[in-house]
Structure 1
Amino acid sequence: MSAQPDLLYSEEEEALRAAVRDLLTDHCDAAGVIARTESAAPHDVQVWKALSGTMGLAGLLVPEELGGQGATHREAAVVLEELGRAVAPVPYLTSAVVATEALLACGTDGLLAELASATTIGALAVGLHVAPGGAFANARLEKGALHGELTGIADAALADVLLVPADDGGLYAVDASAATVTPQVSLDLTRPVARVTLEGAPGRRLGDAEPAVRRALRAGAGLLASEQLGLADRSLTETVRYLKDRKQFNRPVGGFQALKHRLAQLWLEVVNLRAAARGAADALATGEDADVAVAVAQAYAAPAAVRAAEEALQLHGGIGMTWEHPAHLYLKRAKADSIAYGTAGAHREALAELVDLRAP
């Protein structure tokens, strides 16, 4: 029988958190993120370079012998918590986790080293809505070239290389300049999606698509829970701070019992979300019951994060409804995350199968 996992944060993980939070506090403020969502360049390339280049965090999941940091999903989860707290518009989840995991499944050393050093940004050309094990669209392979249209590809606009599944069962590396990337309307402008059109694009076969995509989406779903934890925790913290300052009838609004009850319930949900997210990160790191842990985390994380963001918007009152206040960033990210890498319902169905609790 395996030992009980330790879900508490280690000293190294707390030090990593502090470093990432300091960087984001200095260079990724809410006003700047809001301004970027109104521009033609929503991604914050400078913050991405600082995270991936200066701090070396793009290669956390890549073994040292392949040019990475040789860390685990637990460390990557801590980074994603902080990115969720800041709603940072960087391609960490899509490149440093999902695309990297797909390459690890294929054992592609050269491209892995490029992603680890962040000289290249990768994007898996599978719709952001697809759950682990779910059906995904393939490009057509004709005479060694790829054709087709793939939609809902997260962070494709910033990618240098696209990892494209094809109808021959292979996963191909395609230079992004060989594809036409067209932005699509997205609720969450901090993680834009795009349509990728391939018209005879050359590709290099990396390995088999099905196991690579399954592994990549499982890691994406599992670590997405840590991003959802970060944004939920930040939503709660900022709401508590606001209600302590906001006065009505000459007393702090946070002193009213009805609001105390709402905040207490939300705190319990965030605590449970932390346990689920940490469980998924640890399971991905150890490989023990990872499918179950990821399904549990996502079944819980999506509604909990949305509820935290909705409560923050409501309890901030009129100010929360303004474009200048960042509350809408958290609600949009939470709603978009709730269908990313599978809905909560899809993960509950997967969990039922995994633990043999099928519907009658």
Structure 2
Amino acid sequence: MQALIDETQQEFRELADDIAASIGIANPSDIDGADPLAGWSTLQSAGLLELRERTDGAPLAGGVEIALLSQALGAALSPAPYLAGGALAVDLISRSGDTGAWLPGLLAGTDHYSLLLDAGLDALGGTGGENGVLWGASRESGFALTVLRDDDGGTFVARRPIAGARRLDSISLTNELWEPAGDGEWERGGRVSPEDLDRFTALALTGLAADTAGTLRAALAGVVEYSKQRIAYGVHIGSFQAVQHIAAEAHVAIEAIAAAVNYAAWSVDELDAGEALLAARTAKAVAARNGRPTAEAVMQLYGGIGQTWEHIAHFYTRRAIFDSVLFGGEEAQLRAIADARLGGE
């Protein structure tokens, strides 16, 4: 792989940064009454919902572009559920061949999808079709999307309408979880292979790790600027060696996540499914290990104001913690890597 993104990808990153900033959260007060789907038309009109649509067997854009966009949305604290309801939903439906013609409504921005996760939030919930937790913005409507199993052991995508979903408390103020209501009948879509599911999971893990990297980079950039302005004992706090050391350690931790994400993002479509999943699990493990302590270090650098609900610092911390939990945290990823490498069950 190339260590650096190419010119086209750099242009895409700049576009993603601009779009994310336009639909993000700049101040804690912005979240009050904010509609997570308010920015959906912006994402749709920019063609970003189509990135994982497969034409001639290949997606329009690779994992690198999804990672760049996820980093931008994380940095902007965007509440729009792009990763769940956009990239991952489109990827999964497209891999199934879209036998039910679900994609047109999704890509047009009129049909909204939430992923059904199991109660532990560490995988798609659906081998038995039981209720789990919805990740995304259901607005008490739209569709729940998951994967179900055939009697013969095969798997297929399935959806059912969401009616009367109840919003759950979430540690993240910019990501939503919902409890589905009722036991509506599942509409069957196309089949997906084990390889498809591995690549889908790799994309999910990479996207979440990328979101963490973007979130932490923005958090650190904010406190660095603050340290240039805040004066204590007659000097800027950025001149204190203790502050410099904490900031430097945070920077190293963030770049470790970003490096793992870069490789995982390239791997999603370029390596075989098993190796792509291992790369994604590695990136997610690194992100989960470094996410919370790095975000909390940023809060510490702000001093007392960083601990208040009225400050943006805790939004970054909450988002990093939320990202670390979804699809399994550090321990879950390391166990899965060990099983794959050592042949465990």
TM range (shorter): 0.7 to 0.9
Residue in structure 1 matching 2:305, options 319, 335, 360: 319
Asked if 2 retains the 8 angstrom alpha-carbon contact of 1:80 and 1:226, the reply is yes
1:6 counterpart = 2:41: no
Asked if 2 retains the 8 angstrom alpha-carbon contact of 1:106 and 1:207, the reply is yes
Residue in structure 2 matching 1:217, options 201, 225, 228: 201
Residue in structure 1 matching 2:111, options 93, 104, 120: 120
Note closer, same or farther for the CA distance 1:200–1:154 as it changes in structure 2 (3 Å cut): closer
Residue in structure 2 matching 1:76, options 61, 66, 73: 66
C-alpha distance in structure 2 between counterparts of 1:313 and 1:74, whole Å: 30
- Which residue type is aligned with residue 178 of structure 2? A
- Which residue type is aligned with residue 68 of structure 2? V
Residue in structure 1 matching 2:39, options 47, 56, 70: 47
Instruction: Give the structure 1 partner of residue 11 of structure 2.
Output: 15
Instruction: Give the structure 1 partner of residue 252 of structure 2.
Output: 268
Q: CA RMSD in A?
A: 2.7
Q: Deviations over 1:310-348 (max 9, x none)?
A: 111111112212222211111111111111111111101
Q: Give the secondary-structure state (helix, strand or coil) at the position aligned to 1:163.
A: strand
The aligned length equals 338
Instruction: Give the structure 1 partner of residue 85 of structure 2.
Output: 95
Instruction: Give the structure 2 partner of residue 157 of structure 1.
Output: 138
Note closer, same or farther for the CA distance 1:229–1:300 as it changes in structure 2 (3 Å cut): same
C-alpha distance in structure 2 between counterparts of 1:154 and 1:139, whole Å: 18
Q: Once structures 1 and 2 are overlaid, which stretch shifts more, 228-237 or 213-222? A: 213-222
Instruction: Give the structure 1 partner of residue 238 of structure 2.
Output: 254
Q: Give the secondary-structure state (helix, strand or coil) at the position aligned to 2:216.
A: helix
Q: Give TM-score, length-normalised by structure 2.
A: 0.88
Asked if 2 retains the 8 angstrom alpha-carbon contact of 1:59 and 1:115, the reply is no
Note closer, same or farther for the CA distance 1:246–1:358 as it changes in structure 2 (3 Å cut): farther
Q: Deviations over 1:135-177 (max 9, x none)?
A: 844455xxxxxxx4x2322115246222244464654543424
State the shift of 1:7 in Å.
2.8
Note closer, same or farther for the CA distance 1:163–1:358 as it changes in structure 2 (3 Å cut): closer
Q: Percent identity, please.
A: 25
- Which residue type is aligned with residue 157 of structure 1? S
Q: Give TM-score, length-normalised by structure 1.
A: 0.84
**1:129-278 correspondence to structure 2 within 5 Å:** 129-131=120-122, 136-139=125-128, 148=130, 150-158=131-139, 160-166=142-148, 168=150, 170-177=155-162, 179-201=163-185, 203-208=187-192, 213-278=197-262
Note closer, same or farther for the CA distance 1:156–1:50 as it changes in structure 2 (3 Å cut): closer
Note closer, same or farther for the CA distance 1:291–1:69 as it changes in structure 2 (3 Å cut): closer
Task: Structure 1 unaligned segments of length 5 or more: list them.
Answer: 141-147
- Which residue type is aligned with residue 112 of structure 1? L
